[in-house]
Amino acid sequence: MKTLELLPPNDTMYRALVDRDSSFEGIFFAGVRTTGIFCRPTCSAKKPARENVEFFPSPNEALLGGYRPCLRCQPMDPERSAPELIQRLRTEVEKAPDGRLTDKELTSLAIDPSTARRQFKRYYGMTFQAYHRARRMGLALREVRRGESVEEARHGSGFESESGFRDAFTKIFGQSPTSAKEQGGLFAERIETPLGTMLAIADDAGLRLLEFVDRRTLERELSILRTRLKTNVVPGEHRHLSLTRKQLGDYFSGKNLEFTVPLAPVGSPFQLRDWKLLQRIPLGETRSYSWMAEQLGDKEMRRAVGRANGENMLCIIIPCHRVIRADGTLCGYGGGLWRKKWLLEHERKYVRAQEDSNLRPSD
């Protein structure tokens, strides 16, 4: 029996298939009735007509549906890496993150500049040149915060003019390089998960945001962070991002579903109280909006609780997916009800496994 409730809407999946949207890697597999083959969302093969496609949540389900794996995209392979061109471009950036790659240089690398811009923007939501520029400025910020002089940071970021560097730095981070020594900036990293690509953002205070990149409110949340923290977001490395990536890997693999990464949510006093209460809901369990409202002091505040839960920027780690209706039915999840159901079942399965392990007699 196909667990269709774990899948996004069919129209969403077909659009992702046509667009070869890499953010849907691992979320669904497409079976093509006319060929008897099933593929990844990003398969480069010619796309079938909508009526000739059916969708499955796993390769095993597709196999049971009578389909064989595609030899081109190899959907049985568990690795889900970025497209080859994206990997090449990132590699070129890291060879000289403090420099620039012009269209002429891309052409000399046998990379078509227009294709690079188009694919990079589709995958990252920003142009390749914007990524490279943000990477350079992120490195400059890191050097400034480590105590390097502004002049040394300028040289390291490839700027010839001191005024040009200061202007670019201030435009991106909302503060001068000197001020940034104390305040710092926000660093971002994309993290691939079985439920789709997530964006993580952190600074020295802790993890500020963890969201699925297809969530419609993501741009508004980024704007809130920029405004309230008076800085900008750049791609880069940070110890809290590394820990988040590792702990998400452990979570989805079932190795360990507990998170210890420091959190620094940005919100109103009521939102912060609401989110703190969410963290008290035990793994593998659920609570109702009424229960939350009562715990917060007024059982009539269910709507306010719902809004605060929906404004939570730390998906999974602050577990708003563990809140359901009083009658036990699922409702209201920004990442989609199919993800909410998956997360709840995943956590319950983990808790049952832990309980069975504790009950098993030792040798």
- Residues with Cβ within 8 Å of 276's Cβ and at least 6 positions away in sequence, in order, are none
Residue 5: band (very low, low, confident or very high) from pLDDT cuts 50, 70, 90 = very low
pLDDT in the model for residue 99: 62
Active site (catalytic) residues: 320
Identify the DSSP state of 129: H
Lowest mean pLDDT of 13-17, 230-234, 346-350, name the range: 230-234
d(CA 9, CA 176): 46
Mean pLDDT is lowest, of 183-187, 240-244, 268-272, for 183-187
Q: How confident is the model at residue 137 (pLDDT cuts 50, 70, 90)?
A: low
Contact predicate 296/305, CB 8 Å: yes
Q: Is 118 exposed, middle or buried (0-12, 13-18, 19+ CB in 10 A)?
A: middle
- Residue 69 · residue 59 · CB < 8 Å: yes
Instruction: Give 292's DSSP letter.
Output: H
The SS3 call for residue 139 is helix
Strands 53-56 and 186-193: unpaired
Q: Which residues of 50-72 are buried (b: 16+ CB within 10 A; e: fewer)?
A: eeebbbbbbbebbbebebebbee
Residue ranges of domains in the chain, CATH in brackets: 4-69 (3.40.10.10), 84-184 (1.10.10.60), 189-355 (1.10.10.10)
Please report how the helices 84-95 and 128-145 are oriented relative to each other, as an axis angle in degrees rounded to 10: 40
131 and 113 Cβ atoms separated by less than 8 Å: no
Statement: residue 294 has pLDDT above 90: yes
Between 101 and 205, the more confident residue is 205
pLDDT the model gives residue 231: 78
Its pTM surpasses 0.85: no
Percent of all residues in the chain with a pLDDT value above 70, rounded to a whole number:
77
Percentage of the chain with pLDDT > 90? 32
Mean pLDDT to the nearest integer, 86-91: 80
pLDDT in tens, 189-204: 888 888 888 899 999 8
273 vs 26, residue with greater confidence: 273
pLDDT, mean of residues 5-28 = 80
| pLDDT of 4 | 43
Residues 6+ apart with CB under 8 A from 88: 109, 111
**Strands across the sheet with 68-69, in order?**
53-56, 29-32, 37-39, 68-69
**Per-residue pLDDT tens digits for 118-134:** 777 766 666 777 777 66
